[in-house]
């Protein structure tokens, strides 16, 4: 937020489906919550409708991608910072993710809650419907779109970044750190540097200032 505000760019933070105060659980059509935010922004005199953009981090990057596919005509540009798209939602990957020690909490029950799932089988059935392949979106157009990730990401598979980058009918940009783990982090690149030197300048270029 402060990084954008320093460049005179306002921002709105939105709880992702299934988290915080979001009224929706994660489901194949839950990206509509972001369209509702745009509906509201367009009622305000202090918002330039031609410069509305979106950024999402980790699983939020998935939702920004879904939002950008569904609301392309109203977004100036968007950035998926290390979000999943396809492989991440497969049973094999999710079972591995549930067993990881990278999270500082018990990931499985927290993730079940995001989807409103009652148990593992219910969760796997719900997540299988979330892939952009399952939703038929792989070849769909996007607004100007930036993908940021680390080649060694063990949370959001780099294959999911490449899937979006290499398909579709509109140009995409990518910044991939060969030494980066999740969020493209490495010894030389922390979150602050990635924001300051990669993501925010890209938005400034797209927004014209």
For 164, the token pair is 């979006």
* pTM metric for this prediction: 0.95
For 8, the token pair is 């005179």
Could you give all domains of the chain from N- to C-terminal order, each with its CATH number? 2-207 (3.40.50.1820)
DSSP letter string over 30-53?
TTHHHHHHHHHHTT-TTS-GGG-E
For 181, the token pair is 């783990």
141-152 b/e (C-beta count within 10 Å ≥ 16 → b): ebbbbbbbbbee
Q: What is the pLDDT along the chain (209 residues), one digit of tens a residue?
A: 788 888 888 899 999 999 999 999 999 999 999 999 999 999 999 999 999 999 999 999 999 999 999 999 999 999 999 999 999 999 999 998 888 776 667 889 999 999 999 999 999 999 999 999 999 999 999 999 999 999 999 889 999 999 999 999 999 999 999 999 999 999 999 999 999 999 999 999 999 86
């Amino acid at each position: 937020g402060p990084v954008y505000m320093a460049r005179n760019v306002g921002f709105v933070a939105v709880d992702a489906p299934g988290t915080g105060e979001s009224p929706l659980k994660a489901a194949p059509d839950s990206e509509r919550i972001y369209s509702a935010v745009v509906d509201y922004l367009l009622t305000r005199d202090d918002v330039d409708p031609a410069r509305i953009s979106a950024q999402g981090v980790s699983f939020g990057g998935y939702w920004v991608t879904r939002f950008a596919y569904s609301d392309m005509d109203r977004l100036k540009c968007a950035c998926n910072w290390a979000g999943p798209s396809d492989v991440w939602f497969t049973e094999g990957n999710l079972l591995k993710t549930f067993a990881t020690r990278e999270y500082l909490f018990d990931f499985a029950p927290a993730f079940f809650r995001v989807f409103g799932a009652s148990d593992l089988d219910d969760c796997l059935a719900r997540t299988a419907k979330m892939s952009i392949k399952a939703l038929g979106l792989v070849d769909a157009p996007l607004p100007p779109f930036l993908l940021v990730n680390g080649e060694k990401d063990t949370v959001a598979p780099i294959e999911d970044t490449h899937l979006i980058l290499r398909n579709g009918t509109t140009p995409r940009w990518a910044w991939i750190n060969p030494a980066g783990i999740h969020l493209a982090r490495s010894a030389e690149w922390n979150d602050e540097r990635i924001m300051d030197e990669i993501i925010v300048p890209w938005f400034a270029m797209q927004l014209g200032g």
